[in-house]
Amino acid sequence: MVEALKKNPAWKGRRGPVTLVIMDGVGYGKYAEGDAVADAKMCHLDAIKSKSPHTKLKAHGKAVGLPSDDDMGNSEVGHNAMGCGRVFNQGAALVSLSIESGALFEGSAWKEIVSNAAGHRGTLHFIGLFSDGNVHSHLDHLKAMILRAKEEGIRKVRVHVLFDGRDVGETSALEYLDPFEAFLKAANTGGFDARIASGGGRMWITMDRYGADWSMVERGWKVHVHGEGRQFASAREAVETYRKEIPGIIDQDLKEFVVAENGKPVGAIEDGDSVVYFNFRGDRALEITAAFEEDKFDKFDRGRRPAVCYAGMMEYDGDTHVPKRYLVSPPAIDRTMGEYLAASGVRTLAISETQKYGHVTYFFNGNRTGKFDETLEDYVEIKSDVVPFEQRPWMKCAEITDRVISAIGSGKYDFIRLNYPNGDMVGHTGVYQAVVCSMEGMDLQLGRLVKAVDEAGGILVITADHGNSDDMFEHDKKTGAVARKADGSPKAKTSHSLNPVPCVIYDPEYKGEYPRTEGEGSLNEGLGISSIAATCIQLLGYTPPKDYDKSVLKF
């Protein structure tokens, strides 16, 4: 439990609530060509910025707890940073350190995984995102575990790959697949047998989240566990075949495949086997974990459910303790802004649509399920459409805004936080026109919010968790030139960017408590998005905890 925040006696108050808008995946682009944010007619955002102090915040790398500044930020660590007010070492860094120190291999979970497979003369299976994007997983972690398994006497390993094309290049699958096959070939000595057994694109199988589309998990279960699916002699053959059959398909959408010999799958999961889901990020790990672990499971017919020893890379839900067995402990995040606000009697609303609902609740609260105070907090989920995002680029931003405008005018809340997913979810499709449309659709909603804030006499804080829509084309790192396809069209970039994100403070009934000028210059600069917590606490009339990262406001 935390103590209530101390009131700032110099704060003169506002009639309405503080509303935090998180424009998911919206940054300041580095390149003119391919910046869908700059290309979009963001009339309302531009108008807000023209009469408000604003600055740029870091949203990647070390500023959000990732290993290096070459690492893209993501929604999970971004919301952690904003909601927790401090930077914690995150998944990739924790796993890498655990492997380097050997702690992962000395832990009870790893020992149980190895002991089970060895004792039953079974297979050790690895399932996870097959890239070095460092958002959900990293291939270096997989390679280290395969080599350690060999050292510890495991004879048979099977890998079930989920192609990325989202946190890395959209058609980069073979750039990872070929070197990995060479790695396995070099490792397969002395009777050790490691092979790729099945796979597909991350947005087609296995990696659903928030219960949006359980059919993805069902397809993954069938292909990984039962070996049911279209058969190929190799993963490379599967990728090449699907690319020929479905022109323009990108890696995240590749259909499921099974590697087989003489019509028999090389790696179906059997009783006595061990399974490691090697993604470290939790949101797209919970559903496949439930399929392996839950006795009472009603999302789809699992058919034969093998008796296996299952482990996740990390604990994906600290409150429900899922999975039961995990290889690396997640960061211990405490004293979040949400907990402080609840202890201080601040009435709060958190809202988004399904795709980002968990981010404004679970991740914002430091990977904590549930509320800090049932009487003070309301959480609202607007159900997302189950369609490709490029077909509905506006997503549910209007419906989210409807609810927020009602909440602002109701007088029921002191603090409202919302996430518009458009810039991230549509940005990941790589469809440029759709991304521009998503930005303009979201901008219309910002215009509606400003009117509500004006009427209520509140404050609007606009920011983002990371970049994405601001960098939609692949560029040469040295020259900055756009990479192009054979037909001369730009090569789409579907991953996040390393670009800074906005922080805008719209305070229409400003009373002079902090220095400000319109435009850039009056806010603290060079900060990361972890500064959002202290900023919001100050705008609510409280003094932030001493160890919180500095606010953008110059109090």
- Whether residue 494 lies inside any domain: the answer is yes
Tell me which amino acid residue 204 is.
Answer: W
- Whether residue 357 lies inside any domain: the answer is yes
Two tokens, residue 82: 């904003």
Task: Examine the domain organization and report whether 309 and 346 are in the same domain.
Answer: no
Overall residue count recorded for the chain in this entry = 555
Task: Examine the domain organization and report whether 250 and 149 are in the same domain.
Answer: yes
**Average pLDDT, rounded, for the chain:** 95
Residue in the block written with tokens 């109701």 = 410
The question of whether 75 is a catalytic residue gets the answer: yes
Task: Examine the domain organization and report whether 65 and 98 are in the same domain.
Answer: no
Question: What CATH number does the domain containing 130 carry?
Answer: 3.40.1450.10
Query: What is the CB neighbour count within 10 angstroms for residue 535?
Result: 28
Beta bridge partners of residue 381, listed in sequence order: 352
Task: Examine the domain organization and report whether 464 and 519 are in the same domain.
Answer: yes
83, 95 contact by CB (below 8 A): no
286, 209 contact by CB (below 8 A): yes
Q: What integer pLDDT is reported at residue 92 of this predicted model?
A: 85
Domain that holds residue 174: 92-328
Angstrom distance (rounded) from CA 395 to CA 387: 10
239, 175 contact by CB (below 8 A): no
Model pTM score: 0.75
Task: Examine the domain organization and report whether 34 and 148 are in the same domain.
Answer: no
Q: Which of 75, 384, 522, 551 is catalytic?
A: 75
Task: Examine the domain organization and report whether 106 and 253 are in the same domain.
Answer: yes
Angstrom distance (rounded) from CA 56 to CA 374: 35
Task: Examine the domain organization and report whether 85 and 106 are in the same domain.
Answer: no
Task: Examine the domain organization and report whether 534 and 499 are in the same domain.
Answer: yes
Q: How many domains does the chain have?
A: 2
Best CA proximity match to 252, nearest among 495, 75, 420: 495
Task: Examine the domain organization and report whether 176 and 300 are in the same domain.
Answer: yes
Q: How confident is the chain (555 residues) per 10-residue block, as mean pLDDT?
A: 95 98 97 96 97 96 86 89 93 90 96 95 97 93 98 97 94 97 98 98 94 95 98 98 97 98 97 97 91 97 97 81 90 92 98 96 92 98 95 97 98 98 95 98 98 98 97 89 91 90 97 86 93 98 97 94
Peptide bond into 323 cis (omega under 30): yes
Q: What integer pLDDT is reported at residue 199 of this predicted model?
A: 98
Q: How far is CA 492 from CA 376, 427, 469, 485, in A?
A: 44, 10, 11, 9
Task: Examine the domain organization and report whether 527 and 501 are in the same domain.
Answer: yes
Q: What integer pLDDT is reported at residue 318 of this predicted model?
A: 61
52, 518 contact by CB (below 8 A): yes
Question: What CATH number does the domain containing 517 carry?
Answer: 3.40.720.10
Contacts for 104-109: CB closer than 8 Å, 24+ residues apart = 104/145, 104/327, 104/328, 105/148, 107/327, 107/328, 109/311, 109/325, 109/326, 109/327
Greatest alpha-carbon span in the chain: 78
- Whether residue 553 lies inside any domain: the answer is no
Look up residue 268 and give its DSSP letter: -
Task: Examine the domain organization and report whether 187 and 317 are in the same domain.
Answer: yes
Tell me which amino acid residue 238 is.
Answer: A
Peptide bond into 331 cis (omega under 30): no
Task: Examine the domain organization and report whether 324 and 337 are in the same domain.
Answer: no
The H or E element containing residue 50 is helix 43-50
Angstrom distance (rounded) from CA 203 to CA 218: 13
- Whether residue 529 lies inside any domain: the answer is yes
Look up residue 484 and give its DSSP letter: B
Q: What integer pLDDT is reported at residue 356 of this predicted model?
A: 95
462, 503 contact by CB (below 8 A): yes
Q: What integer pLDDT is reported at residue 319 of this predicted model?
A: 56
